[in-house]
């Protein structure tokens, strides 16, 4: 089942979509990667969901990836005596560590790290920014604030500190338990929430030890200050626009999105654009025109994937949401200007391996080239080709099932598992046979082959070879 598009779709699974039949329908509609959100549900539900993806994978005949999304720290208010209060702009409001139920003058914040990060004149956002406070005076266990906007506030609403780095680890005890469970279940990608510094990703990598790809969710402005160091430790990145949009000005979010997409592509790591892409389809059968344009713009920017959250996890039209997103992606890639945009920003790299990959991309510009075939053990050769954004499909052939599944997130890559290959001639025959088998190369067309010798050994590609499909099948 080869998809006639390059950009990928990540679909979140939940009560509306976790059963095998629905997962299969989502995959057939165009989903490539399935997100399991560890902020909701227990391990029993997640184990069943992952097993259902693996069963659906067999039914659709192509590799599907599972992305485990860890919850991360959740900074929340305590409780109010009456469950909720109404505030007025200009009034005083105190945050402290007193566990007593709050009222219209104060409430408990049980996280000591909040007070460690605060300073006078800092802004505090409550309930995704619906209520805003300005700090007048603060100490190790209190903050005297003034309400600058907002009225209604209720128990356990979230808390954000825009522009401040909170001294709290990204991996909570719950995350560690969830991570161990997810790795034991054989997930393909692990996403870390609340990333603020490179040390957060370094800790995740140390635990994962290559058993899954590691992905940083960029949802805190503090991460932007350490972006290069964070991306150096990532194998993929997500533009988590929902949380970013709480702490950044709305006009800044599109610029950050473009910056992150460009930075990820330069490094050759997949980048996902996420949050509110087709949000109206949680309850409506069609998206708004603005949402369709938003999805299309992410494709024009060169994002590897776009993500659906509640639309597929809990919405009324999960399959329709994936189908419409697939149609938008496909339509953009039919735009005659789209190849020009993909070619406009080819990364420049002096490493020998990337020079060979760039040569493959230039050779692929010939009209007679039907597809590129990358023999890869870890997936890196295919990812390097994907970074070049060739218009022809990339067929990644690997002996490792884990590598094939992980590549489901990569732009333009179709991954398949093959047996061991021992010599270059067998390699060329296999490349041509598979290109023909999957209808990627018609008779008499050229196939570009990228591989490394010795065969089967992880390392940089060092062979670029041309082959042709037979004139007759």
For this structure, is 84 an active site residue?
no
Task: Report the length, in residues, of the chain.
Answer: 473
Tokens 């430790």 correspond to what residue? 233
Which of 152, 161, 159 minimizes the C-alpha distance to 80? Answer: 152
Catalytic-labelled residue, pool 8, 49, 220, 275? 275
**Helices first, then strands: H and E counts in the chain:** 17, 21
Rg (CA), the chain: 24
For this structure, is 76 an active site residue?
yes
Residue 354, H or E segment = helix 352-363
Distance CA 15, CA 209 (A): 31
Q: What is the DSSP string of 303-322?
A: -SEEEESHHHHT-S-HHHHH
Q: What's the Cα-to-Cα distance from 174 to each of 71, 78, 171, 189, 462, rounded to whole Å?
A: 8, 19, 8, 18, 44
Q: Is 23 left (phi over 0), alpha (psi -120 to 50) or beta?
A: alpha
Catalytic-labelled residue, pool 217, 361, 406, 434? 217
For this structure, is 165 an active site residue?
no
Strand partners, 125: 132, 160
Helices (H), 90-239: 112-117, 173-184, 198-208, 221-225, 227-231
Cα dihedral 241→247→249→255 (10° resolution)? -40
**Nearest 5°: CA angle at 89, between 86 and 94?**
70
For this structure, is 241 an active site residue?
no
Residue 26, CA atoms < 13 Å, CB-side half-sphere: 35
Distance CA 44, CA 38 (A): 12
| Pairing, β 236-240 against β 92-96 | unpaired
Catalytic-labelled residue, pool 5, 24, 35, 132? 35
Distance CA 292, CA 183 (A): 35
Catalytic-labelled residue, pool 74, 76, 130, 176? 76
Catalytic positions are 35, 76, 217, 275
């Amino acid at each position: 089942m080869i998809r006639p598009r390059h950009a990928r779709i990540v679909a979140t699974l939940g009560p509306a979509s976790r059963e095998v039949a629905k997962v299969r329908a989502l995959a057939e509609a165009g989903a490539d990667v399935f997100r399991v959100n560890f902020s909701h549900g227990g391990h029993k539900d997640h184990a069943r969901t992952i097993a259902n993806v693996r069963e659906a994978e067999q039914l659709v005949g192509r590799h599907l990836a599972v992305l485990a999304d860890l919850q991360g720290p959740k900074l929340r208010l305590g409780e109010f005596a009456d469950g909720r209060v109404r505030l007025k702009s200009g009034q005083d409001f105190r945050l402290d560590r007193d566990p007593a139920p709050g009222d219209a003058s104060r409430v408990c914040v049980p996280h000591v790290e909040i007070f460690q990060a605060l300073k006078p004149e800092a802004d505090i956002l409550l309930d995704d920014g619906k209520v805003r406070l300005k700090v007048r005076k603060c100490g190790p266990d209190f903050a005297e604030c003034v309400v600058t906007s907002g009225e209604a506030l209720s128990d356990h609403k979230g808390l954000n500190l825009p522009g401040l780095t909170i001294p709290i680890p990204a991996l909570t005890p719950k995350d560690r338990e969830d991570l161990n469970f997810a790795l034991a279940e054989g997930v393909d990608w692990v996403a870390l929430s609340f990333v603020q510094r490179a040390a957060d990703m370094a800790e995740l990598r140390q635990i994962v030890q290559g058993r899954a790809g590691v992905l940083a969710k960029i949802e805190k402005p503090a991460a932007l200050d350490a972006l290069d160091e964070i991306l150096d430790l990532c194998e993929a990145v997500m533009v988590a626009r929902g949380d970013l949009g709480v702490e950044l000005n709305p006009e800044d979010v599109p610029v950050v999105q473009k910056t992150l997409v460009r930075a990820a592509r330069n490094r050759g790591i997949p980048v996902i654009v996420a949050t509110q892409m087709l949000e109206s389809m949680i309850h409506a059968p069609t998206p708004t025109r603005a949402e369709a344009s938003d999805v299309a713009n992410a494709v024009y920017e060169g994002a590897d994937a776009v993500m659906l959250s509640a639309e597929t996890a809990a919405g009324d039209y999960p399959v329709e949401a994936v189908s419409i997103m697939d149609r938008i992606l496909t339509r953009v890639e039919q735009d005659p200007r789209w190849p020009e945009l993909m070619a406009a920003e080819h990364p420049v790299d002096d490493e020998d391996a990337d020079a060979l990959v760039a040569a493959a991309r230039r050779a692929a510009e010939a009209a007679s080239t039907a597809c590129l075939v990358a023999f890869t053990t870890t997936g890196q050769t295919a990812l390097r080709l994907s970074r070049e954004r060739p218009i022809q499909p990339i067929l990644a052939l690997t002996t490792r099932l884990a590598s094939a599944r992980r590549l489901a997130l990569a732009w333009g890559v179709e991954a398949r598992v093959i047996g061991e290959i021992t010599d270059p001639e067998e390699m060329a025959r296999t490349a041509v046979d598979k290109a023909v088998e999957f209808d990627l190369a018609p008779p008499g067309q050229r196939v570009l082959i990228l591989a490394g010798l010795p065969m089967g050994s992880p390392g940089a590609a060092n062979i670029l070879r041309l082959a042709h499909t037979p004139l007759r099948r």
